[in-house]
Chain A
């Protein structure tokens, strides 16, 4: 396909075993109300003959109860629906050993979180926060989580759906993938900088520029995938890698903290590590005093 923007469901088929997707079902957990969080697609599929939880966005539907939810926006219902999918994944494998915890695959194509008045009155912040905590818990429980960015991964919506994964993969810009907080034109306006100058700066400093390639440099994307037919095998390879690291107890190399390490390695985020090291020294100097207080 030329692009998967708006095509979250189609992208699922490029990742899972053919015809294996069972929507709204994770083990014994079933969502019967089809009007609940329609912008979020959750379910179970087999991936390389193994059971996996799939969480994606549906950009083609509109949530009639919450009109700000369309085009792949994650609204209050959507965020909680995704969180429930994760909690039920943890529950389903609660008794299984580390190497048998099922993977969770996030297929990412979302432009934002629900930006409305009702959303603020009832607390959209809780919905996106709930989903992130659920993913963090699943990751730390041992489930390998891979996020595959196929379309839009914009700002808070990317934090919600993607940035708590163990590894994040992204299609390249040839597929019109968009990873950013804001487009460079908006950043230029807000920071009162010349757009040409910003474009020039972004080639040497990836810290504000829009695009998967820049996130790669910062450690925010583990691997870029340039061929959509390779998504399946790349996702599988990362599931295997993640599992190996988890079994070896190397959790610190995964997830958001791991991305910090990769960002330093790729020289996209250097100062972060300086801060952490310096702070550790300052803390060590007072730790005993704190313990004996």
Chain B
């Protein structure tokens, strides 16, 4: 069996950023940009006596899914929590920019560019957001990502995948929310404020960050799937994520934008209604919300195997676009 085939069967949760990047696109198709061999690492970490990585904790590049160029950004949680600094931020921002540039170029050459050739971006998150050692540069990079997303609107679909250990928090939490489609495994976690910070703000009685089950109920893939904040929930295999991405890539741009939750006045109005529901329910636990959406036995959903969960779970009835 080839290395790529082995990757398909590998746990997404246990995979490194590079394994995910290689495995999410077609076999042998991945070209890395600013690879470790380029030796561009953070100039700020050595000053503080910190170790560097030659990829600065992020793998960026382009591969193919069928005929479609798929730009990949993949974050490595093992290096300073997958945090965004000046170099890793620039790699992420510019990868999205190049995808849009390629689309514009292809469209100029061929105004009837077939959907199967339309470039896409896949971002595999494993991060808490800004890297504190170079916090200001990391912060500014987040704004640049959002700026590039807006340039990509209607041109290049941005697909978020979340299923790695660190989850997707801090500034990257709203970055993911701002993309077209979100794919998670039940081990993926998505949010803005990490569990420890909520505990610090609200007290341990209100939110115990050591209670793993509570943390997953609040930010995990199953919860986000019920809330429609994650569009697809898949098994914890690189191959399962890849299959889902490939399915999304076979859709038209018009079909893909329907997965969005924010990005237009209509969508914001729907979110305002959802916030009104939050005020009305004032849930002490996600399970109160699951119940509200018609899940009679919310406790049973937590440990339910994925296939049964997908058949059983009742989701927020999203109106969408």
Contact = CB atoms under 8 A, between A and B. Distances in A.
B142 interface: yes
Nearest to A121: B286
B253 interface: no
Interface string A273-293: 111101110110011001101
Interface string B124-140: 00000110111111111
Size bracket, chain A contacts: 35 or more
Contacts of B149: 133, 136
A280 B272 contact: no
A86 B275 CA distance: 19
A140 interface: yes
A159 to B, nearest CB: 5
A118 B278 CA distance: 7
Interface in A235-293: 255-257, 259-260, 263, 269-276, 278-280, 282-283, 286-287, 290-291, 293
Contacts of B227: 121-123
A66 B282 CA distance: 9
A136 B272 contact: no
Interface string B224-249: 00010100000000000000000000
Contacts of B192: 113, 115, 119-120, 124-125, 128, 156
Query: A-side binding surface: helix, strand, loop or mixed?
Result: helix
Nearest to B267: A130
Interface stretch (A4-12, A44-52, A204-212, A226-234): A204-212
Interface residues of B, number: 96
B202 A116 contact: yes
A293 B69 contact: yes
B256 interface: no
Contacts of B101: 283
Interface in B241-279: 261-265, 267-269, 271-272, 274-275, 277-279
Interface in A49-105: 65-66, 68, 76-77, 80, 83-84, 87-88, 91
B34 interface: yes
Given A66-B279, A120-B193, A279-B91, A181 B174 contact: no
8 closest A-B pairs by CB: A129-B174, A181-B135, A136-B150, A163-B143, A130-B262, A87-B265, A275-B90, A125-B173
Interface of B: 31, 33-34, 38, 40, 42-44, 47-50, 60, 62, 64, 67, 69, 86-87, 89-91, 94-95, 98, 101-102, 105-106, 109, 117, 119, 129-130, 132-144, 146-147, 149-151, 153, 170-171, 173-178, 190-193, 197-198, 201-202, 206-207, 218-219, 223, 227, 229, 261-265, 267-269, 271-272, 274-275, 277-279, 282-284, 286, 289
30 contacts: A76-B278, A83-B262, A84-B268, A113-B193, A116-B201, A117-B284, A118-B282, A121-B278, A121-B283, A122-B289, A123-B229, A124-B193, A125-B192, A127-B275, A130-B263, A130-B268, A132-B146, A136-B149, A155-B130, A156-B129, A156-B174, A163-B142, A181-B132, A193-B48, A206-B136, A207-B136, A207-B137, A208-B132, A272-B87, A290-B102
Given A83-B262, A121-B227, A282-B31, 9 more contacts: A66-B278, A113-B192, A129-B177, A140-B150, A181-B136, A256-B147, A257-B144, A259-B144, A271-B40
